[in-house]
Structure 1
Amino acid sequence: MNAIPAQEVAGHCLQAFTQIVPASQAAFYCVDRQLQARDFRLHQMSGEMHRDYLDNYRQFDPLQPRNCQSSGLAVVPLGFAMARQPTRDSRRYRDFLQRYGVVDVVEILAHRSGQPQAAISLLRTAAQGAFTADQLAQLSALQALLQMAVANMQPYEDSLSGLTPKERQIALLLRQGASNKQLAQELDVGLPTIKTHLINLFRKTGVTSRTELVGALFL
């Protein structure tokens, strides 16, 4: 069976999970060998919130892949994860969630060779309330489908393996539609540096435009 592109797996899984267990926002992401979440596919989550998370709060997130891996669970509720880290970190992360009206989060992970390969994060607002025990049980049942989908997923790192860390970061941001100005802000560099990175990316992938670049790396 041919491997399925990661973005296709992400789209189908996000649609299925959010239809069965309602969530205000969601994200699908891949997990690299260093247990870092990468290549996010967002569902009804603002770019502002996602950037705020990456820039200021990721280190306080009790549901990072490394923490979820050590929990031994495939479906990890926020409350369970918070109880396993320092109270001050949990407080900082709770402040971040409250800023965006989020009251509960649950992480569903798929593994390959004993290591997290991808995951879905589901978030809920006060209007929806916290995830119930029945909903967590539903997510545990759905996890088997996520596991099956990820087993047939093309590792996103394959297409990015020849890129430098900066080029990889730019490629992933381009896939999310970032402009040159946004790229410069994210990488904290000037526009000329971004243009140089783009020229190098075009040469490495044999393309002549941003659209072709995204297609060559992710489609």
Structure 2
Amino acid sequence: MHDDFGLHCLQAFSRVVPASCFAFYQVDPHLRARDFQLLRMDARTHRDYLNHYRDFDPLQPALCRDERRAVVPLREAMARQADNSRRIYQGFLVRHGIRDVVEVIAHVRQRPVAGVSLLRLGTQPPFDADELQRLNGLRGLLDLAVRQLPAAPAENDGLTAFTPREQEIALLLREGLSNKDLARQLDMGLATVKTHLIHLFRKTGARSRTELVRKLFP
């Protein structure tokens, strides 16, 4: 069922906006992409992404949660990214000849539940404003369609003991964000970020950010 659904979505998107390759995925309760369905994508590229680069991807669901901006171009996402993560991810793009990417995120009850990635390779031009507008129209249909999907299972249930805001911070910590990046991403002050981090350290008994992430995501 999921494979058929994902493939139909990818074929529909490919008819509206041309791209070199596409990926459909579901989003689990911890805002992690999983259950990928690929169309014309090199398996080696996808494997390299999953094994080495997904945590540096500025278009991953944990960083693209705003329902009002559900069509996200790569250039916009990278502009909000920390410098070190941006450099690492640019290395992946260059290595695989990826010219541009746009992410279309489907929401149910204001929560991201699935997404479609469109990639252009080689000499293909970047996605233009007209194409992004067409994708935004198609995204409304995707929002309706994904309601028939079963919920993606969580990777783990290790965050259920924390408040929703602490869970958000924990997910972003796993992606390597600094306190400054956390404040910008969550639209809160640095002092508030530090307070939430103190609570996470106390609840887990962790003594460093690395140990905290390891305890939260065993």
Report TM bin, short chain.
0.5 to 0.7
- The answer for the alignment partner of 1:190 in structure 2 is none
Question: Which amino acid counterpart does residue 26 of structure 2 have in structure 1?
Answer: C
Between the aligned partners of 1:42 and 1:79, the Cα distance in structure 2 is 23
Note the residue ranges of structure 2 that are not aligned, 5 or more in a row: 157-218
Given that residues 65 and 111 in structure 2 are in contact (C-alpha distance below 8 angstroms), is that contact kept between their aligned partners in structure 1? yes
- TM-score in terms of structure 1 length: 0.67
Between the aligned partners of 1:49 and 1:56, the Cα distance in structure 2 is 11
Between the aligned partners of 2:100 and 2:90, the Cα distance in structure 1 is 9
1:47-66 equivalences under 5 Å are 47-66=43-62
1:6 aligns with 2:2: yes
- Which residue of the other structure, out of 49, 61, 85, is the alignment partner of 2:81? 85
Query: 2:69 aligns to what SS in structure 1?
Result: coil
1:137 aligns with 2:129: no
1:189-204 equivalences under 5 Å are none
Question: Which amino acid counterpart does residue 6 of structure 1 have in structure 2?
Answer: H
- Which residue of the other structure, out of 138, 144, 156, is the alignment partner of 1:148? 144
Query: 1:69 aligns to what SS in structure 2?
Result: coil
Post-superposition offset of 1:155: 2.9
Between the aligned partners of 1:89 and 1:156, the Cα distance in structure 2 is 27
Percent of pairs with identical residues = 48
- The answer for the alignment partner of 2:210 in structure 1 is none
Post-superposition offset of 1:115: 1.1
Between the aligned partners of 1:72 and 1:143, the Cα distance in structure 2 is 11
- The answer for the alignment partner of 2:35 in structure 1 is 39
Question: Which amino acid counterpart does residue 145 of structure 1 have in structure 2?
Answer: L
Given that residues 14 and 27 in structure 1 are in contact (C-alpha distance below 8 angstroms), is that contact kept between their aligned partners in structure 2? yes
Post-superposition offset of 1:119: 0.2
1:97 aligns with 2:93: yes
Between the aligned partners of 1:126 and 1:48, the Cα distance in structure 2 is 16
Given that residues 6 and 156 in structure 1 are in contact (C-alpha distance below 8 angstroms), is that contact kept between their aligned partners in structure 2? no
- Which residue of the other structure, out of 109, 112, 116, is the alignment partner of 1:113? 109
Given that residues 99 and 120 in structure 2 are in contact (C-alpha distance below 8 angstroms), is that contact kept between their aligned partners in structure 1? yes
Post-superposition offset of 1:6: 2.1
Q: How many pairs align? A: 156
Between the aligned partners of 1:122 and 1:150, the Cα distance in structure 2 is 18
- Which residue of the other structure, out of 101, 113, 120, is the alignment partner of 1:124? 120
- The answer for the alignment partner of 2:163 in structure 1 is none
Post-superposition offset of 1:101: 1.0
Post-superposition offset of 1:154: 2.7
- Which residue of the other structure, out of 23, 26, 47, is the alignment partner of 1:27? 23
Between the aligned partners of 1:52 and 1:81, the Cα distance in structure 2 is 20
1:68 aligns with 2:64: yes
Post-superposition offset of 1:130: 0.3
Given that residues 28 and 42 in structure 1 are in contact (C-alpha distance below 8 angstroms), is that contact kept between their aligned partners in structure 2? yes
Given that residues 58 and 81 in structure 2 are in contact (C-alpha distance below 8 angstroms), is that contact kept between their aligned partners in structure 1? yes
Given that residues 67 and 110 in structure 2 are in contact (C-alpha distance below 8 angstroms), is that contact kept between their aligned partners in structure 1? no
